[in-house]
């Protein structure tokens, strides 16, 4: 395309842990002893597996309550969406939008982008390679912000413990939500962005 | 592009883009400069912003801030004469009940264990690097630092504390604690010291490949 050589054309490969330029036939990095792979092993299959696991956990994460509140004798359970709606109705639009972005938008964008990357790589598509590469780096960057709601529930549940007056407890939904975050993070880590560019060369 | 060396015979002179596998001849960067990959526009390498001594000083400061952030409560609340406060550990513990204990482990890793290990390992490798020595266990320390990075989530924790303060502010009296300020400073310090920049130690110390 633009004449920049690919590392594998010159018989070398990158160590992802220390950045050393390793010989292509090395199993371990000569400098830091980490395993080196020309491409992450079984990248597409593993990414699909983590992505689908994340999608499955996403259902209970949204339907099961994440928090149980008692306030002066009245009890209520909140799911992630009902928490967002409660903030919005209470006039805290900024917090409602923040939690909506972290808990709903970020995981959904991650599902969609990773799914799109997987499908285009399997088809060896040459479409918008630079933009797809950028998208991958973007979801890698934003992925862990979804942990926000888990940490908010943890803090609030630890604080509001006034027996008889008001208590807040975490509920099962927050476990599934945390697992969604972990699964999508593992999916993003398993995906090898170099696969996007492999479509450019024939003999890989 | 000079062709006098090949990537196989002189690996230190070459650099590979981790995002797209492009191979470049390495050029030294000045402080604050960033090299981008021409093929995928990802960051190729950055010039070092700080000396080893500065990094060591910041890692010591981070250690102190970590202790403050964990010893002192991050939020305290009061309601009808009752009073309660929470530390980072307390919030992790609140998740550790019954069915959902697994998520407490993830939270504990993200806000306590990973940052603690990052600070300790950085201090260990830097305190030796500053004397031009390769720390005992250098390889394993550096490898662990790489694997910890994605799981350290202090930024998210800080935002979580702020959201919790606003969330509870509607129904009770909420006061930010000393731990919160320490946490904010710790977050900035971790961002400064625990990035990929630390990989420079491999070259700076001249760790020889076997
Ligand atoms: Zn290595
Ligand atoms: Zn690149």
Q: Which residue of B has its CA nearest to A162?
A: B82
Average pLDDT, chain B: 92
Task: Give the per-residue pLDDT at B169.
Answer: 87
Going through B17-120 in order, the beta strands assigned E by DSSP cover 23-25, 34-36, 43-46, 75-79, 82-86
B177, B74 in Cβ contact below 8 A? yes
CA A31 – ligand 1 centroid, Å: 5
**Beta carbons of B167 and A147 less than 8 Å apart:** no
Nearest in space to B150 (alpha carbons), one of A31, A142, A4, A13: A142
Whether residue B1 is predicted with pLDDT greater than 80 in this model: the reply is: no
Residue A75 CA to residue B168 CA, distance in Å, equals 17
Mean pLDDT for the stretch of residues B159-174:
90
Query: CATH topology for A41-202?
Result: Butyryl-CoA Dehydrogenase, subunit A; domain 3 (1.20.140)
> With a cut of 50, which residues of chain A have pLDDT below it?
204
Q: Which two tokens stand for residue B56?
A: 């060591």
Task: Give the per-residue pLDDT at A204.
Answer: 46
With a CB-CB cutoff of 8 Å, which residues 141-200 of chain A face chain B? 144-145, 147-148, 150-162, 165-166, 169-172, 174-175, 178-179, 182, 185, 189, 193-194, 196-197
Which ligand number lies closest to the CA of residue A33? Answer: 1
Query: How many contacts (CB atoms, under 8 Å) link A and B?
Result: 223
The string of pLDDT tens digits covering residues B76-129 is 999 888 899 999 999 999 999 878 999 999 999 999 999 999 999 999 999 999
Mean pLDDT for the stretch of residues B63-67:
97
CA A124 – ligand 1 centroid, Å: 29
Residue B208 CA to residue B62 CA, distance in Å, equals 30
Mean pLDDT for the stretch of residues B68-79:
94
Contacts of B64 (CB under 8 A, 6+ apart): none
Tell me whether B49 touches chain A (CB under 8 Å): no
What is the complex's ipTM, to 2 decimals? 0.91
Please tell me the pTM assigned to this model.
Answer: 0.93
**Beta carbons of B160 and A151 less than 8 Å apart:** yes
The string of pLDDT tens digits covering residues B24-56 is 998 888 988 999 999 999 999 988 889 999 999
CA A32 – ligand 2 centroid, Å: 23
Confidence of residue B209 (pLDDT cuts 50, 70, 90): confident
Q: Which two tokens stand for residue B121?
A: 């390992």
Q: Which residue has tokens 């909506």?
A: A100
Tell me whether B150 touches chain A (CB under 8 Å): yes
Task: Give the per-residue pLDDT at A2.
Answer: 62
Tell me whether B96 touches chain A (CB under 8 Å): no
For chain A, what is the largest distance between any 2 Cα atoms, rounded to a whole number of angstroms? 72
CA A133 – ligand 2 centroid, Å: 9
Whether residue B206 is predicted with pLDDT greater than 90 in this model: the reply is: no
Handedness of CA B137, B194, B55, B51 (dihedral sign): positive
* Coil, helix or strand at residue B131: coil
Q: Which two tokens stand for residue A39?
A: 């491409």
Task: Give the per-residue pLDDT at B18.
Answer: 94
Task: Give the per-residue pLDDT at B4.
Answer: 61
């Amino acid at each position: 395309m633009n004449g920049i050589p690919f590392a594998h054309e010159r018989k070398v490969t990158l160590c992802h842990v220390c950045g050393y330029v390793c010989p292509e036939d090395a199993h371990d990095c000569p400098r830091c002893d980490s395993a080196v792979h020309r491409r992450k092993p079984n990248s597409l299959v593993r990414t699909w597996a983590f992505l689908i696991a994340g999608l499955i956990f996403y259902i209970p994460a949204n339907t099961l309550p994440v928090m149980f509140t008692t306030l002066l004798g009245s009890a209520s359970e909140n799911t992630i969406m009902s928490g967002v709606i409660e903030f919005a109705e209470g006039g805290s639009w900024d917090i409602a939008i923040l939690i909506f972005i972290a808990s709903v938008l970020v995981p959904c964008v991650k599902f969609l982008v990773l799914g799109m990357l997987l499908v285009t790589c399997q088809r060896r598509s040459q479409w918008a390679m630079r933009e797809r590469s950028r998208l991958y780096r973007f979801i890698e960057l934003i992925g862990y912000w979804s942990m926000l709601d888990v940490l908010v529930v943890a803090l609030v549940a630890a604080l509001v413990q006034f027996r008889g007056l008001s208590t807040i407890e975490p509920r099962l939904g927050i476990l599934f939500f945390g697992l969604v975050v972990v699964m999508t993070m593992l999916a993003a880590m398993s995906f090898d962005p170099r696969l996007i560019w492999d479509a450019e060369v024939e003999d890989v | 592009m000079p062709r006098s060396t090949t990537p196989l015979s002189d690996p230190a002179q070459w650099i590979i883009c981790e995002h797209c596998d492009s191979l470049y001849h390495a050029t030294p960067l000045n402080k604050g400069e960033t090299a981008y990959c021409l093929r995928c526009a990802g960051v190729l390498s950055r010039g070092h912003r700080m000396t080893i001594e500065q990094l060591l000083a910041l890692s010591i400061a981070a250690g102190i801030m970590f202790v403050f952030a964990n010893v002192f409560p991050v939020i305290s609340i009061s309601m009808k004469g009752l009073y309660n406060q929470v530390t980072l550990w307390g919030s992790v513990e609140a998740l550790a009940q019954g069915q959902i204990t697994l998520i407490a482990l993830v939270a504990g890793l993200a806000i306590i264990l990973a940052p603690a290990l990052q600070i300790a390992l950085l201090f260990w490798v830097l305190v030796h690097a500053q004397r031009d020595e390769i720390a005992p266990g250098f390889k394993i320390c550096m490898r662990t630092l790489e694997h910890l990075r994605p799981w350290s989530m202090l930024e998210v924790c800080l935002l979580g504390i702020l959201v919790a303060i606003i969330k509870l502010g509607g129904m009770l009296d909420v006061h930010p604690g000393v731990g919160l300020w320490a946490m904010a400073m710790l977050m900035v310090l971790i961002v400064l010291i625990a990035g990929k920049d630390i990989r420079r130690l491999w070259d700076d110390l001249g760790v020889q490949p076997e």
